[in-house]
């Protein structure tokens, strides 16, 4: 896979999470000597024997394929040896006030400045950070080392579930730096990706077409803001689709058809118009809140964004209200929740709507059984003790009064719903993702309700 022009860069990535590890594997695949540094010893030990710390399609194969270029390290004293570029990809979780907690980032910087005393590196922030962090990072580095660092912001846009493909075939790259030396290094690092001159790995979804990837060069501040703006816009599209769905529920119309019409308008675009029970995950909830908080701090009330967040918070409870209307009360009802991860294709439960939904079902007196194809064990540690966990979807539905689909795992659509119908006590299905075949379900005898999808409510 080595780059055609033959640049080989020594990179250290701090953080072996979804972003850090995926970036590291992608850079190793295209020929760079890549070291991953994490403070989590167990993760590093696992990675050394080829074990990915999370589920992501193609990742284990890629770890294997790129192993000659990959090293894993938990000793800070060895993490930055010979590095030309250090990328920071640690978590920036929300603070209680809704801002971004930069504690991990500054710990990482401290490790870098304490242990890399003999040569200068390009420090690239890949973590999502508030505007102004780049210049604070620069000041921190300068104070700690007495040297002016090379700094850049290269925010990440990968989607979990497609992380590696998104990293190897991105729609755009962002190089936030005004320093020509930093730009040159970034261009060398990403050259095979920009020119798409590497062999596409067979175990990943193949790119539709391969053309040069645009790399937008801008200030650090623009790069930092662009990441928040992109996530805020996508979240707004989802909340917009959900509001149209809520109107459909009242006046009739099928939100799927309405959004198909919108989606074919190239000014709008078809993606992220899927109505349902709202977004979750480690990025959209935290990034929308952080941008709202950043704006507020500067005295600007970002009204559109506040509404996006409010709609999303309400949306996950609307499906519970729908369910309750079928029974009058949820007290003593057996409800099977299908899917726990925040979306299909990942094992990530961070800010997953399922957690709020199950807590609310329990507080309204329901007895909950939950199924998920990949996240059952992890969910067990986060859910109330009396929630029954079931490793077979069909088994989970036995004796249930209703099923509530929370995550759009394809296997739920493919389930033998005739068998489920025979084993359930009542045949109510609330499809929180509009993912099931409602014609088939109605034919079998289910009382089906989606989000903005069927009839008047
Ligand atoms: P993660 O929680 O999966 O991984 C973070 C990793 O950093 C962990 O393995 C942790 O042990 C390690 N770490 C923490 N402090 C460290 C330190 N001082 N030194 C070394 N390692 C340290 O996080 P993630 O989902 O990969 O997200 C990372 C950043 O990227 C966040 O800012 C996030 O907002 C952003 N982002 C995430 C996604 C996504 O889909 N997950 C997409 C785009 C951007």
pLDDT digits (tens, 9 = 90+) for 303-348: 999 999 999 999 999 999 999 999 999 999 999 999 999 999 889 9
Does residue 52 carry a pLDDT above 90?
yes
Terminal Cα distance for the chain, rounded: 56
Record the tokens describing residue 53, joined without a space: 């710390």
**pLDDT over 80 at 146, yes or no:** yes
Q: Is the pLDDT of residue 435 over 70?
A: yes
Q: Is the CB of 34 under 6 A from ligand 1?
A: no
Q: Is the pLDDT of residue 457 over 90?
A: no
Question: What is the DSSP secondary-structure string of 391-439?
Answer: S-HHHHHTT-SEEEE-S--HHHHTS-HHHHHHH-SS-EEEETTS-S-HH
The mean per-residue pLDDT over the stretch 174-197 comes to 96
- Contact 19 CB / ligand 1 (< 6 Å): yes
Which residue is it, tokens 């675009």? Answer: 269
Confidence band, pLDDT 50/70/90 cuts, at residue 207: confident
d(CA 178, CA 330): 59
Residue 21 Cβ contacting ligand 1 at under 6 Å = no
Q: Report d(CA 392, CA 371) in Å as an integer.
A: 7
Structure tokens at 50: 């080829």
Examine the pLDDT at 430 and tell me if it is beyond 80. yes
Centre of ligand 1 to C-alpha 282, Å, is 10
The predicted pLDDT at position 117 comes to: 75
Tokens matching residue 303: 């009204």
To test the pocket of ligand 1, the residue of 25, 90, 156 to mutate (highest count of ligand atoms within 8 Å of its CB) is 90
Q: Residue 206 has what pLDDT?
A: 87
Q: What is the pLDDT of residue 120?
A: 85
**Statement: residue 455 has pLDDT above 60:** no
Q: Given the structure tokens 């996006």, which residue do they identify?
A: 308
Q: pLDDT-based confidence at 5, cuts 50/70/90?
A: low
**Closest alpha carbon to 376 in 338, 411, 426, 408:** 338
Q: Is the CB of 16 inside a 6 Å radius of any atom of ligand 1?
A: yes
Atom of ligand 1 nearest to the CA of 157: 43
For the chain, the average pLDDT equals: 95
Question: Would you state the pLDDT for residue 44?
Answer: 98
Q: What is the DSSP code string of 304-334? A: HHHHHHHHHHHHHHHHHHHHHHHHS--TT-E
The CA 369 to ligand 1 mean position distance, Å, reads 31
Q: Is the pLDDT of residue 74 over 80?
A: yes
Q: Residue 196: how many CB atoms within 10 A of its CB?
A: 15
| Residues near 403 by beta carbon (within 8 Å), at least 6 away in sequence | 335, 336, 338, 397, 420, 424, 428, 429, 430
List pLDDT tens digits, range 79-102: 999 999 999 999 999 999 999 999
Give the ipTM of the model, two decimals please.
0.99
- The string of pLDDT tens digits covering residues 239-257 is 999 999 999 999 999 999 9
Contact 280, 243 (CB under 8 A): no
Q: For the chain, what are the domain ranges? A: 10-218, 241-449
Average pLDDT over residues 57-67: 95
In the predicted structure, residue 410 carries a pLDDT above the cut 50: yes
| 269-293 tens-digit pLDDT | 999 999 999 999 999 999 999 999 9
Q: pLDDT-based confidence at 6, cuts 50/70/90?
A: low
Residue 166, ligand 1, Cβ within 6 A: no
Q: Give the DSSP H/E element, type plus range, for residue 70.
A: strand 70-73
Residue whose Cα lies nearest atom 34 of ligand 1: it is 128
For 197, the token pair is: 């001159």
| Three-class DSSP category at 122 | strand
Which atom of ligand 1 has the smallest separation from the CA of 158? Answer: 42
**Residue 398, Cβ density class (10 Å: 0-12 exposed, 13-18 middle, ≥19 buried):** middle
For ligand 1, atom 28: residue with the closest CA:
91
Answer yes or no: same fold for 10-218 and 241-449. Answer: yes
Tell me if 289 CB under 6 Å of ligand 1: no
CATH of region 10-218: 3.40.50.720
Cite the active site residues.
283
At the fourth CATH level, which superfamily is domain 241-449? NAD(P)-binding Rossmann-like Domain (3.40.50.720)
Q: Note the pLDDT of residue 210.
A: 85
User: In this structure, are residues 435 and 408 in contact, taking their beta carbons and an 8 Å threshold?
Assistant: yes
Which residue ranges are tagged as binding site for substrate?
Answer: 227, 272-276, 280, 343
């Amino acid at each position: 896979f080595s780059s055609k022009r033959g640049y080989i860069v020594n990179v250290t990535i701090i953080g072996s999470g979804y972003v850090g590890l995926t970036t590291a594997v992608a850079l190793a695949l295209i020929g760079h000597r890549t070291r991953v540094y994490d403070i989590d010893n167990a993760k590093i030990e696992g990675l050394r024997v080829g074990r990915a710390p999370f589920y992501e399609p193609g990742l284990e194969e890629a770890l294997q394929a790129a192993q000659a270029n990959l090293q894993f390290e938990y000793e800070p004293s060895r993490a930055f040896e010979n590095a030309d570029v250090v990328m920071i990809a640690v978590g920036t979780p929300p603070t209680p006030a809704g801002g971004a907690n930069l504690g991990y980032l500054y710990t990482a910087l401290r490790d870098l400045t304490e242990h890399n005393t003999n040569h200068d590196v390009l420090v690239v922030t890949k973590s999502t950070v508030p505007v102004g962090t780049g210049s604070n990072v620069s000041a921190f580095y300068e104070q700690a080392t007495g040297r002016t660092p090379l700094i850049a912001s290269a925010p990440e846009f990968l989607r979990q579930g497609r992380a590696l493909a998104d990293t190897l075939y991105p729609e755009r790259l962002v190089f936030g730096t005004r320093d020509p030396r930093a730009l040159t290094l970034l261009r060398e690092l990403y050259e095979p990706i920009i020119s798409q001159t590497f062999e596409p790995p067979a175990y990943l979804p193949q790119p539709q077409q391969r053309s040069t990837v645009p790399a937008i060069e801008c200030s650090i501040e623009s790069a930092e803001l662009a990441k928040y703006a992109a996530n805020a816009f996508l979240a707004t599209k989802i909340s917009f689709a959900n509001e149209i769905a809520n109107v459909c529920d009242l006046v009739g119309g099928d939100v799927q058809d309405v959004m198909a019409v919108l989606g074919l308008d190239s000014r709008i675009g078809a993606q992220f118009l899927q109505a349902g029970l709202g977004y979750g995950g480690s990025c959209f909830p935290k990034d929308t809140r952080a941008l709202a908080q950043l704006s507020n701090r500067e005295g600007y009330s970002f009204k559109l964004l506040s509404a996006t967040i409010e709609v999303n918070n309400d949306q996950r409870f609307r499906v519970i209200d729908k369910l309750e209307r079928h029974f009058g009360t949820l007290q003593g009802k057996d409800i099977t929740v299908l899917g726990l991860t925040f979306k299909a294709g990942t094992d990530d439960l961070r800010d997953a709507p399922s957690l709020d939904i199950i807590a609310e079902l329990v507080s309204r007196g329901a007895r909950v059984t939950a199924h998920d194809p990949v996240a059952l064990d992890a969910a067990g540690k986060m859910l109330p003790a009396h929630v029954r966990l079931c490793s077979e979807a069909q088994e989970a539905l036995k004796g249930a009064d209703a099923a509530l689909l929370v995550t759009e795992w394809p296997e739920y659509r493919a389930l033998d719903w005739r068998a489920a119908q025979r084993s359930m006590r009542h045949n109510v299905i609330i499809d929180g993702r509009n993912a099931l075949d409602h014609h088939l379900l109605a034919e079998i005898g289910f009382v089906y309700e989606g989000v903005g999808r069927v009839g008047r409510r």
